[in-house]
Protein backbone atom coordinates (compact mmCIF):
# COMPACT_ATOMS: atom_id res chain seq x y z
CA UNK A 1 0.00 0.00 0.00
CA UNK A 2 1.19 3.48 -0.84
CA UNK A 3 0.00 6.51 1.16
CA UNK A 4 0.98 9.99 0.04
CA UNK A 5 0.76 12.37 2.99
CA UNK A 6 0.34 16.02 2.03
CA UNK A 7 2.49 18.68 3.73
CA UNK A 8 -0.56 19.96 5.66
CA UNK A 9 -1.24 16.45 7.01
CA UNK A 10 2.44 15.90 7.87
CA UNK A 11 2.51 19.13 9.87
CA UNK A 12 -0.63 18.26 11.82
CA UNK A 13 0.43 14.66 12.50
CA UNK A 14 3.84 15.84 13.67
CA UNK A 15 2.18 18.25 16.12
CA UNK A 16 0.33 15.31 17.70
CA UNK A 17 3.44 13.15 17.82
CA UNK A 18 5.52 15.93 19.36
CA UNK A 19 2.84 16.49 22.03
CA UNK A 20 2.80 12.80 23.01
CA UNK A 21 4.20 12.06 26.49
CA UNK A 22 7.79 10.89 26.66
CA UNK A 23 8.35 7.17 26.44
CA UNK A 24 8.23 4.90 23.42
CA UNK A 25 7.63 7.00 20.31
CA UNK A 26 4.00 7.05 19.20
CA UNK A 27 3.09 6.01 15.65
CA UNK A 28 0.21 6.86 13.32
CA UNK A 29 -1.89 3.96 12.05
CA UNK A 30 -4.53 3.83 9.33
CA UNK A 31 -7.24 1.61 10.77
CA UNK A 32 -10.39 0.05 9.35
CA UNK A 33 -12.69 0.19 12.36
CA UNK A 34 -15.74 -2.08 12.12
CA UNK A 35 -16.60 -1.97 15.83
CA UNK A 36 -20.31 -1.27 16.26
CA UNK A 37 -20.93 -1.36 12.49
CA UNK A 38 -22.75 -4.69 12.57
CA UNK A 39 -20.53 -6.49 10.06
CA UNK A 40 -16.78 -6.86 9.58
CA UNK A 41 -16.97 -5.44 6.04
CA UNK A 42 -18.99 -2.39 7.14
CA UNK A 43 -16.28 -0.24 8.65
CA UNK A 44 -14.84 3.22 8.52
CA UNK A 45 -11.29 4.40 7.89
CA UNK A 46 -9.75 6.08 10.93
CA UNK A 47 -6.39 7.44 12.01
CA UNK A 48 -5.10 6.14 15.31
CA UNK A 49 -2.19 7.23 17.46
CA UNK A 50 -0.68 3.94 18.73
CA UNK A 51 2.25 2.84 20.88
CA UNK A 52 3.90 0.99 18.00
CA UNK A 53 3.46 -1.62 15.31
CA UNK A 54 1.45 -4.74 16.08
CA UNK A 55 2.37 -8.24 14.88
CA UNK A 56 0.23 -7.99 11.72
CA UNK A 57 1.06 -4.36 10.90
CA UNK A 58 2.99 -3.13 7.89
CA UNK A 59 4.36 0.28 6.99
CA UNK A 60 2.91 2.10 3.99
CA UNK A 61 5.23 3.42 1.31
CA UNK A 62 4.95 6.67 -0.55
CA UNK A 63 6.04 9.64 1.52
CA UNK A 64 8.52 10.76 4.08
CA UNK A 65 5.89 10.27 6.79
CA UNK A 66 5.39 6.56 7.46
CA UNK A 67 1.96 5.26 8.44
CA UNK A 68 1.18 1.81 9.82
CA UNK A 69 -1.74 -0.32 8.66
CA UNK A 70 -3.00 -3.81 9.41
CA UNK A 71 -2.26 -6.34 6.67
CA UNK A 72 -5.66 -7.99 7.22
CA UNK A 73 -7.41 -4.68 6.44
CA UNK A 74 -5.41 -3.91 3.30
CA UNK A 75 -8.18 -5.43 1.18
CA UNK A 76 -10.53 -2.56 2.11
CA UNK A 77 -8.30 0.12 0.55
CA UNK A 78 -7.02 0.95 -2.93
CA UNK A 79 -3.31 0.49 -3.53
CA UNK A 80 -2.57 4.24 -3.75
CA UNK A 81 -4.08 6.63 -1.18
CA UNK A 82 -3.71 10.30 -0.25
CA UNK A 83 -4.01 11.61 3.30
CA UNK A 84 -4.70 15.34 3.56
CA UNK A 85 -5.57 17.82 6.31
CA UNK A 86 -7.95 20.79 6.19
CA UNK A 87 -6.84 23.36 8.80
CA UNK A 88 -10.06 25.38 8.53
CA UNK A 89 -12.20 22.38 9.47
CA UNK A 90 -9.47 20.68 11.54
CA UNK A 91 -10.03 17.31 9.92
CA UNK A 92 -8.10 14.77 7.91
CA UNK A 93 -9.36 13.16 4.72
CA UNK A 94 -8.38 9.90 3.04
CA UNK A 95 -9.00 9.34 -0.65
CA UNK A 96 -7.82 7.51 -3.73
CA UNK A 97 -8.32 8.33 -7.38
CA UNK A 98 -11.48 6.20 -7.29
CA UNK A 99 -13.16 7.30 -4.05
CA UNK A 100 -13.20 9.11 -0.72
CA UNK A 101 -12.79 6.77 2.25
CA UNK A 102 -13.39 9.32 4.97
CA UNK A 103 -13.56 13.07 4.49
CA UNK A 104 -13.98 13.84 8.21
CA UNK A 105 -11.22 11.90 9.99
CA UNK A 106 -9.83 12.85 13.36
CA UNK A 107 -6.74 11.39 14.99
CA UNK A 108 -7.87 9.06 17.80
CA UNK A 109 -5.42 8.37 20.63
CA UNK A 110 -5.45 4.57 21.09
CA UNK A 111 -2.25 4.32 23.14
CA UNK A 112 -2.27 2.21 26.29
The domains of the chain are located at 2-109
Low-confidence residues of the chain: pLDDT under 70: 20-23, 34-42
Q: Which of 94, 29, 33 is nearest to 67 (CA)?
A: 29
d(CA 38, CA 34): 8
What is the average pLDDT value for the chain, to the nearest integer? 87
Give residue 62's pLDDT.
Answer: 81
CATH fold, domain 2-109, is Hypothetical Protein Aq_1857; Chain: A; (2.60.300)
**Residues 15-36: tens digit of each pLDDT:** 888 876 666 778 999 998 766 5
Give residue 22's pLDDT.
Answer: 65
pTM over 0.85: yes
Amino acid sequence: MQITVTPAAVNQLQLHLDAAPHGPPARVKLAYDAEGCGCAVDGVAQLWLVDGAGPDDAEAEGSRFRILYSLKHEVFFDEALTLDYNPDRRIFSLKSKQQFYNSMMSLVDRRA
